[in-house]
Amino acid sequence: MFRSLARHPGWLFPAWRALGPDLATAAAEKGAAALRRACVDRLAACVPAAPSPPLDRGSREDIRAVLETFAYVIPKAWLAVTALREAVEGRPLAGMAAADRTALPRGVPPRMPPIPLLPEAPDEPRVREIFEAARERLGRPAVPSLYRTLGRWPAYLAAVWQQVIEPGPLARYRAEIPELIGEAVRAARALPYPVALAKPAPDEVAAVLAVYQRNMPETLLQILRLLGDLCGREVARGPLGVATG
């Protein structure tokens, strides 16, 4: 997303300065956590829990850390995208005076692991086939980072892939998206500081924000399903281990 927006630095830099104070607050952390919980709560109606594929202890812990990292980062990015899109669409955030303005430490939480990505065309044929299917079946312009990371465990990715692309759950996820976007808008409007943009956004920026606001909740539902199957849905509901300590 940010690579796409970075093609318009004259818009992105002022927009990020406007949004940055909100994202550094406890209110943003709480709003993102509420979005994650909302997605977990909707999973029960979308798809039953299922056992995760067998894994050795080391792989299980590594995959859990990866899924927790995505489950922590994506709601915050989704909240940011929603706040920016509201401002771009002429609905600037007024800021909520009663919101928690406690400043949080900047930077990556110390327990969060690095997330290396495989290339979009990896050497292993089965992984390359899944990557191509991820782009085509999920309707994405590029292979989502989640699958490029999980490709480091080819047997696990192959085992869960059919669950990821099941038409029934995908359709049910997508039916939840309008309400989830509404929750994201409410979370953005509960941030403490105003977000208004003096400069109109280029059409490409507006389109990028719209696409990511729509795709992020679906991706988050997929991640939380995998994390819930691996560790239990109450674990997916949080608080997440990678974001603590």
* pLDDT string in tens for the chain (245-residue length): 888 899 999 999 999 999 999 999 999 999 999 999 999 999 988 999 888 999 999 999 999 999 999 999 999 999 999 999 999 999 999 999 999 999 988 777 777 888 999 999 999 999 999 999 998 888 888 899 999 999 999 999 999 998 888 999 999 999 999 999 999 999 999 999 999 998 899 999 999 999 999 999 999 999 999 999 999 888 888 777 766 55
pLDDT, position 132: 94
Domain ranges, ordered by start, for the chain: 2-102+165-243
In 12-98, DSSP assigns E strands to none
pLDDT, position 243: 65
Amino acid sitting at position 204: E
How many whole angstroms separate alpha carbon 235 and alpha carbon 43?
A: 13
Amino acid sitting at position 159: A
Sort 9 into a burial class: Cβ within 10 Å, 0-12 / 13-18 / 19+. Answer: exposed
pLDDT, position 182: 98
pLDDT, position 138: 84
pLDDT, position 71: 94
Structure-block tokens of residue 224: 């939380």
How many whole angstroms separate alpha carbon 19 and alpha carbon 21?
A: 6
Question: Coil, helix or strand for 231?
Answer: helix
**How many CB atoms within 10 Å of residue 202?**
15
How many whole angstroms separate alpha carbon 237 and alpha carbon 227?
A: 10
In the chain, DSSP assigns E strands to none
pLDDT, position 238: 78
